[in-house]
Amino acid sequence: MQFKNIIGQPEVKEQLANMVQQNRLSHALLFLGKEGSGNLSLAMAFAQFIVCEKVNGKKAGDAGASLFDEQPTTNNQQPLTDSCGVCSACTKAAKLIHPDIHFSYPVITKKSGEKPISSDFITEWREFVDQQPYGNAFDWLQFISAENKQGNISAAECNEIIRKLNLKSFESEYKILIMWMPEFLGKEGNKLLKLIEEPPANTLFVLVAENEGQILPTILSRMQLVKIPALTDIDIEKGLESIQDIPKEKAKQIAAISEGNYREALQLLQHADDDWNALLREWLNTILKTGPAAQVKWIEEISKQGREKQKQFLRYFNHLLEKAIKLRTIDDRQLTTNDAETDFALRLNKICSLEQQDAIVTEIDKAAYHIERNANAKILFHALSIRLYHIISNNSLILVN
């Protein structure tokens, strides 16, 4: 995988390339980014950049400066910002078959009595990364049919890591371990402390995590942090347009409610044909104009949808409320676009005060929380409709306090 194939993150890509080019690399790095930020893809592109023969200018066994030198090497060549993608090392790294790039990730026991290790699932891992590079731990465990089993990075896996990294490198000058989701590593991870503190020559640990609070403190304290920010709406929009071939307007709508999470954007894409704007207009009309009979009919329809669709609909409503609040600071004459969302947001500003909009956001957030916990959809949307009616029509903010 190359940096150029990863959505957004230009500053992180530049930082990583500079760390290698200037020989300012720590032996242990923590790529920390929320779900859907692309932290795993960045780690794999980083590993490919390190082993790339064009970047290093040499193959395994050749003499040369280490990536971990105190002083950067000097040469007259223009610094490279990405792997070449065509040399033997890049080709193998892209297919996840480079013998000096090792992977560790949460797994389950394949057969009763056996100790689970990552290499037992390497074929599945390659398929998963190819199909779902922005997938999370739940996606992975579903991919390997874990069902209700709890994945973990076991003591046996730690022993396997120690064994692998104490071997000589096969082709590259460097040995790299990419550990995905170290949050699944318990106290058995202390087995790795000595190896992290005193690694064999030219050995690099790259931990890829989403929640630093769940990482073993003894390991966390030995890592150099590389922070991966959430993607911008523009990054996600461009990714959906170029990779998924989604029309610009639909990509913009999905990006706006994905909250910087490209995995979430891909999930939303499954309902890309749903017209959230029309559905929301219909709902508010039943609350404020057409009356209880139309409201009951609407609730019957929305309650037949799955939880994910209901959550996405509520998230879209919140997105429009946020847009409406932002538009309060803009003179109508300064508006450069007049799309359906802007029109809807302006209408919301006419019927709701800022305090009312804030109260509605609170109610929508509560509803989304209860949907995640299997609340009865009919009861939930009936109650929510009543509360919205009182907030909008009667300005009864006391209902939400």
Say which CATH number the domain at 137 has: 3.40.50.300
Helix (H) or strand (E) holding 147: none
Tell the residue number behind the tokens 């074929």, with chain if given. Answer: 123
- Counting as low any pLDDT under 50, the low residues of the chain are 60-61, 63-65, 70-76, 333-334, 336, 396-401
Q: State the Cα angle at 293 between 292 and 299, rounded to 5°.
A: 85
First-to-final CA distance of the chain: 51
pLDDT of 172 reads 86
Say whether both 252 and 308 belong to one domain: no
How many CA atoms lie within 13 Å of 369's alpha carbon, on the beta-carbon side? 6
pLDDT in tens, 35-82: 999 999 999 999 999 999 888 765 544 544 455 554 444 444 567 888
Q: SS3 of 385, please?
A: helix
Helix (H) or strand (E) holding 236: helix 233-242
| Tokens (6 digits) for 81 | 């910002």
How many domains, the chain? 3
> Identity (one letter) of the amino acid at 37?
S
Instruction: Measure the CA–CA gap between 361 and 356, rounded to whole angstroms.
Output: 9
Say whether both 263 and 287 belong to one domain: no
Say whether both 240 and 194 belong to one domain: no
Say whether both 112 and 32 belong to one domain: yes
Say whether both 201 and 289 belong to one domain: no
pLDDT of 102 reads 95
CB 59 within 8 A of CB 235: no
CB 211 within 8 A of CB 99: no
* Cβ neighbours for 67, distance < 8 A, ≥ 6 positions apart: 20, 23, 25, 50, 174, 202, 204
pLDDT of 74 reads 45
Say whether both 47 and 69 belong to one domain: yes
Say whether both 257 and 357 belong to one domain: no
Which domain, by its residues, includes 310? Answer: 276-400
Say whether both 215 and 355 belong to one domain: no
Q: List, in sequence order, every residue forming a beta bridge with 178; answer none if it has no partner.
A: 103, 206
pLDDT of 73 reads 44
pLDDT of 397 reads 44
Instruction: Measure the CA–CA gap between 207 and 31, rounded to whole angstroms.
Output: 6
Say whether both 259 and 293 belong to one domain: no
pLDDT of 274 reads 60
Nearest in space to 3 (alpha carbons), one of 67, 47, 56, 60: 47
| Tokens (6 digits) for 338 | 């007049």
Instruction: Measure the CA–CA gap between 91 and 385, rounded to whole angstroms.
Output: 56
CB 166 within 8 A of CB 160: no
Say whether both 295 and 241 belong to one domain: no
Say whether both 384 and 311 belong to one domain: yes
| Tokens (6 digits) for 136 | 């999370």
Last residue of a domain, one of 269, 284, 317: 269
Say whether both 63 and 169 belong to one domain: yes
CB 56 within 8 A of CB 64: yes
Instruction: Measure the CA–CA gap between 299 and 279, rounded to whole angstroms.
Output: 11
